[in-house]
């Protein structure tokens, strides 16, 4: 039975019961992950090596870089993607264990409500990640970062941030992806409501 559960679980994750949900999966799985995996590495992969401060000493550079980046953007966005996937994965795991067919999700109130709750939770997680991203990275990367190095004798150190303009563009793109994902989640809830009310035919 385990292979059947795994097959049902994978089919549910890859083919949600709504049209917008399927588009969300395609957008989330292909565009967003490709953008982060390929372009994210190209933009941020060598940042620590090229981050330099005045005076240009290894301990100063390392201290200031850790202050500048409490968490690297790639790690933050990877965690965001995984955490946002958890509510949907949990629902589809439940559906697989209960042998719930995808077409039944939109026809039975309990399953529809459960699925909508998972979508709402995705929206909340995306909103929290959006806020955290602003707190950690801001909306613009400046060319110069003033580092407080009081613990290393000097009061401040002037640091040069490599490829700051590219990083600003990348930040804006990641904000945009988060907004698009939230809009798709809201549209999916609207689609489910319309199907339940009979305005749209079920698949």
- Is 184 domain-assigned? yes
Q: Which position has the higher pLDDT, 198 or 147?
A: 147
Query: Can you list the positions of beta strands (E) in the chain?
Result: 52-54, 144-148, 156-160
Q: How many domains does the chain have?
A: 1
CB 72 within 8 A of CB 44: yes
H helix runs in 33-108, sequence order: 33-34, 40-44, 47-50, 58-68, 73-97, 102-105
CATH of the domain at 119: 1.20.1440.80
- The β-bridge partners of 146 are 158
Q: Is the pLDDT of residue 100 over 70?
A: yes
- Is 10 domain-assigned? no
- Is 140 domain-assigned? yes
Count of alpha carbons within 13 Å of 55, Cβ hemisphere only? 7
- The β-bridge partners of 54 are 158
- Is 98 domain-assigned? yes
Global pTM reads: 0.84
- Is 7 domain-assigned? no
Instruction: Compute the average pLDDT of residues 89-113.
Output: 80
- Is 76 domain-assigned? yes
Instruction: Compute the average pLDDT of residues 172-180.
Output: 90
Res 1: pLDDT: 44
Let me know the angle formed at the C-alpha of 15 by 13 and 18, rounded to the nearest 5 degrees. 110
In percent, how much of the chain has pLDDT > 70?
88
Instruction: Output the CA–CA distances (angstroms, integers) from residue 17 to 22, 37, 69, 184, 192, in the order listed.
Output: 8, 28, 40, 14, 9
CB 90 within 8 A of CB 118: yes
- Is 173 domain-assigned? yes
Tell me which residue of 80, 85, 175, 79 sits closest to 121, measured CA to CA: 85
- Is 4 domain-assigned? no
Res 131: pLDDT: 94
Q: What is the pLDDT of residues 4-24, one digit of tens each?
A: 656 665 665 656 778 888 888
Q: Which domain holds residue 42?
A: 18-202
Q: How confident is the model at residue 90 (pLDDT cuts 50, 70, 90)?
A: confident
């Amino acid at each position: 039975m385990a292979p059947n559960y795994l097959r049902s679980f994978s089919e549910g994750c890859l083919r949600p019961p709504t049209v917008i949900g399927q588009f969300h999966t395609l957008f989330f799985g292909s565009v967003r992950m490709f953008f982060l995996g390929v372009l994210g590495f190209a933009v941020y992969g060598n940042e620590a090596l090229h981050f330099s401060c005045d005076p240009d000493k290894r301990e100063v550079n390392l201290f200031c870089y850790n202050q500048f980046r409490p968490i690297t953007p790639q790690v933050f966005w990877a965690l965001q993607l995984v955490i946002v996937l958890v509510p949907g994965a949990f629902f589809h795991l439940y559906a697989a264990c209960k042998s719930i067919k995808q077409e039944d999700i939109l026809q039975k109130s309990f399953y529809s409500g459960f699925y909508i709750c998972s979508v709402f939770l995705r929206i909340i997680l995306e909103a929290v990640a959006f806020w955290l991203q602003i707190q950690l990275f801001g909306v613009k990367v400046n060319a110069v970062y003033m580092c407080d190095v009081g613990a290393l004798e000097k009061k401040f150190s002037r640091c040069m941030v490599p490829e700051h303009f590219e990083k600003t563009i990348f930040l804006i793109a990641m904000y945009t992806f988060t907004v698009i994902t939230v809009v798709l989640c809201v549209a999916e809830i609207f689609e489910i409501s319309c199907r339940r009310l009979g305005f749209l035919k079920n698949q």
